[in-house]
Structure 1
Amino acid sequence: MSMIRPFTLAVPEAELDDLKARIDLTRWPEKEPVADWSQGTPLAALKDLVSYWRNQYDWRACEARLNALGQFITEVDGLDIHFLHVRSARADAMPLIMTHGWPGSVIEFMGVIDRLTNPDDPAAPAFHIVLPSLPGYGFSGKPKVTGWGVEKIGRAWGQLMARLGYDRWFAQGGDWGSAVTTAIAVQQVPGCAGIHLNMPIGRPTEADLANPTPAELKALGALKHYQDWDSGYSKQQQTRPQTVGYGLVDSPVGLAGWILEKIWAWTDNGGSPWDALSRDQVLDNIMLYWLPANGASSARLYWESFGSFAPQEIVIPVAASAFPREILPTPRKWAERNYRKLVHWGDMERGGHFAAWEQPEAFVRELRLAFGAMA
């Protein structure tokens, strides 16, 4: 425990003033010549969010909440890892490490922490929660050398859990968190007794493609849409993260536009991102990219590990939850070929890519079912 240092956020007021000044100096492009999001984040939608950010948003409320939860730093292989650690009062609580993705952060889990650590029902499973920020994300350190791919991150999470005194624990993730959590399971990182994924990964066989079911047709259609219309960001970050990083680190409006488009595209909404999340929730998350200036460092994970989003055989217990607006849906048939001990599969009624953020109650129910079957 001596290797773990308390961390308190206290952003200087000058940094917040600088943010406002940069917003005031924004040089805006002209309005898009379409009436939807098909060319990217619409000018009116972004101006509305940025106006709220400039004039009404309260960073100090988010800062206070993070500080109250308990933030820490520990060094692993020369890199500082930021994490939240929230222990349950329950003696039978299960240690659980949950990993966010891009363009997310630990903010994604703010609505589930209390439900998981302090369930109203004494018969429901309870958890000690560990929420690390990926290397180059949030307030974790930015790797100065290559090699910090998902396999190394998975091993680092094992070291973190061991330092916290947890010798048997569980792991959960979506997006990059799914890749990291899968890497933990594939490598059988010591201590990990099972995993839950809200972005399970599978691929069809030739037989599947020859006679696809309705679920498979939906998955194949989503994959084609992603490849044709939704993957430009990933190709840029996978191949030239430094180039895109200049704009993301220098321009708050550029950063907000880059992230807001994915909030719109990847949430289960009726046409507006605010159907799924509030402006405060989205801006809290954007601030964890803006304040540490990690537009480039976060993008580099794509350069390091984009090929890790591939089916891999897992022999430890796995549970999965399939949310209907997941960007790359995987039918159970595809997934269970690789998950040799699939103990739970949940087909959800609502929700998209950001499961814990969008549908906190359903997400918590799924984790209780999943890890309750592994306890």
Structure 2
Amino acid sequence: MNDLLRDLRPQVLAVLVGRGNDPAAAEDAVQEAMLEASRHWPTERPDDPKAWLIRVAGRKLIDARRAEEARRRREERLAAEPEPGPTEQADDTLLLLSRCCHPSLTPASAVALTLRSVGGLTTRQIAEAFMVPEATMAQRISRAKRAVSDVRFDQPGDVRAVLRVLYLIFNEGFTGEVDLAAEAIRLPRLLAATTDDPEVDGLLALMLLHHARRAARRTASGDLVPLAEHDRSQWDTVMIAEGVAVLQSALARDRLGEYQAQAAIAALHDDARSADETDWPQIVEWYDELARIADSPVVQLNRAVAVGEADGPLAGLRAVAEVDPATPRHTAAAAYLHEKAGDLARAAALYADAAEAATNEPERRHLIAQAARLRQRPHGV
């Protein structure tokens, strides 16, 4: 029952918000309706759970408005609305996500509001996930709600804006008691039912193909394990198979986008039984496609590393030299390619420089270890 309530929550909230109700008031009403459902459904589940929740939440809204000056006018408007049928508008969830990911919001606010309104996470859970005080997160969410309170959505917004926010959520990974990566995977599944945009499936496939490697990504002590050194027996082959199937469905629609291209690269990594069997030439080709669609210094840097694997480290270093040195992990990529080229002293120095610029502790420790490993090796070995 909990899974059903969780899936229905954003749909019900989207219906109420779409009818012109204040988002904050509607969210409170839906929460109360969910509590009612948890008390009544174990013994008497309705034939149409979504309609039941919409009806109960609507009543909660009416109750909350009785103390307001415009109570009678709002009650009459709400009473005049038709009882929901078995299906509401197919894009209800997209409408709600569009509101949560409105361009007027900062990325951090959009992520927080999406997790609260669509994901159903508590403010405390979101605060723990982003390692900020609960009061700070509550203020962030309240400001986001106020920022979009006067925005009325008659049509879904830009689905790409929604996808960018969902990918930000996915990249936060696991912190606190909430696995944000798993939550981010759940949301594109909901979104896929609202649109035929193949980029929705592309993002879902990308998430699945990356998340399938999660068990091999760190040691028991929390240290990073490079992809080439993963114990691939720890990869989730069922999740990989699903990701590949979702990707193939997206590619078959012949509307290539950046998430599909990234997913194709991830699929090639996941398909290799060992690092040595990776199809690097094809990965370079997919990076060329990605650069054509959504070029950036990060894409060019990743392509340069792939070139180094496909055509040799010297070719890779020439490609790295053409990328803006301010690009994140530029120094680490150069260190890796210098090591492959046999210039261990230069590689060790660059690993040490990269460690100083690292933005998180596990990455910093990994780069320091790489520098120490090379310095301990005999010269020329």
Provide the TM-score with structure 2 as the length reference. 0.26
Question: As a proportion of its length, which structure holds more helix?
Answer: 2
Using CA pairs under 8 Å that are at least 6 residues apart, name the structure with larger relative contact order, 1 or 2: 1
Question: As a proportion of its length, which structure holds more strand?
Answer: 1
Provide the TM-score with structure 1 as the length reference. 0.26
User: Which of these two proteins has the greater Rg computed from alpha carbons?
Assistant: 2
